[in-house]
Structure 1
Amino acid sequence: MSTRTFEFRLCSSHGAADPASDELLVEFHADSGDWQAQHPSLSTPGFRLYLLSLLLCQHFYLVANAQERAIPLQRVEGTFTVITSSDWILEQVNGHFRLTLDPGAPAEELARADDEAIAFISRRMKLCPVSRNLPAAVEKAISLELAEA
């Protein structure tokens, strides 16, 4: 039985004045091999909307929990791969997110992004309601790392 693979990448930028996402770019790896910016609308295929909701829910929980810990984000980059059976049943969800801190933030704020805080955010990302509603049989792996300074 063959599988289908869906790949996305995400990049968001964050400002000191408003740590919510200033800019968000989500791209889909099309069959043509090109990365296509996603602008969901009524003409977006429904299954792609579902996959985008998985990705964006993870991103939302990451940013919200970084804000809760007052971690000065500059940028979040993510890759997201979903594998389905040939009949579109989810089998695997793999995401990897990388945080870049604001280099202009004071040292005490940068220090908040320690191993415990990253582990906290990772745990909280697992509470994303879209991901929690995936069937138990779906293999899920979401990782989070801090970019080197």
Structure 2
Amino acid sequence: MAEQNERNFQFRLRSSHRAPEYQTSNLVVEFLADSGLWEPQQLSITMTGFRLYLISLLLCQHFYLVANANERQIPLQQVDADFEVTTSSDWIVSSVVGDFRIRIEQLVPGESAQPSTDSIAFLEKRMKLCPISRNLPDSVIKNIHLSALA
């Protein structure tokens, strides 16, 4: 059962990646506002510091995913993510849950465009090395999951 005074922050991310470098070409981050509507996020110095911190946590995971996919020569086409951070009533992070899904480009017609289970496990493990995540206290529940889109 959730604490009565918990705060939940939900984000979603979508990025596109184009050949030949497969670097991020389009990136959209949205925040679920109290109104129930998803609002695009444009980073600026007027944004609240805590929201900037949470977005940086999400973007660090994304950066590590893209960088390590490129290192492994996995041709990312798209990344989708749902990201939720729960805090206590006094803004102390208690859990971080990220569900990342990737689609890779089919380079050879007729061949599967699915990354191997080993590649997914490698990328997921490397994402958890993001320095922002690693600097969270050990008491914070961190659950980052990666899967492939069909």
Give the structure-2-normalised TM-score: 0.93
Counterpart in 1 of 2:129? 127
Q: Secondary structure at the match of 1:2?
A: coil
5+ residue gaps, structure 2:
none
Counterpart in 1 of 2:63? 60
Q: Which amino acid is the alignment partner of residue 127 of structure 1? A: L
Q: Secondary structure at the match of 1:18?
A: coil
Q: Does 1:25 align with 2:22?
A: no
Q: Which amino acid is the alignment partner of residue 141 of structure 2? A: E
Q: Which amino acid is the alignment partner of residue 139 of structure 2? A: A
Distance apart, 1:102 and its partner CA: 1.3
In structure 2, how many angstroms separate the alpha carbons of the residues matched to 1:72 and 1:122?
Answer: 16
Q: Which amino acid is the alignment partner of residue 138 of structure 2? A: A
Distance apart, 1:17 and its partner CA: 2.1
Q: Does 1:88 align with 2:91?
A: yes
Any idea what the Cα deviations from partners look like across 1:54-102, whole Å, max 9, x if unmatched?
0000000000000011111110000000000011010010000000111
Q: Which amino acid is the alignment partner of residue 122 of structure 2? A: F
Distance apart, 1:109 and its partner CA: 9.0
Task: Indicate the percent of aligned positions where both proteins have the same amino acid.
Answer: 53
Equivalent runs, 1:99-114 vs 2, <5 Å = 99-103=102-106, 105-106=107-108, 110=113, 113-114=115-116
Distance apart, 1:106 and its partner CA: 2.1
In structure 2, how many angstroms separate the alpha carbons of the residues matched to 1:66 and 1:133?
Answer: 23
In structure 1, how many angstroms separate the alpha carbons of the residues matched to 2:92 and 2:62?
Answer: 23
Counterpart in 1 of 2:141? 139
Q: Does 1:48 align with 2:43?
A: no
In structure 1, how many angstroms separate the alpha carbons of the residues matched to 2:36 and 2:30?
Answer: 12
5+ residue gaps, structure 1:
none
Retained in 2: the 8 A contact 1:72–1:110? no
**How many equivalent residue pairs?**
146
In structure 2, how many angstroms separate the alpha carbons of the residues matched to 1:73 and 1:142?
Answer: 18
Q: Secondary structure at the match of 1:17?
A: coil
Counterpart in 2 of 1:5? 8
Counterpart in 2 of 1:115? 117
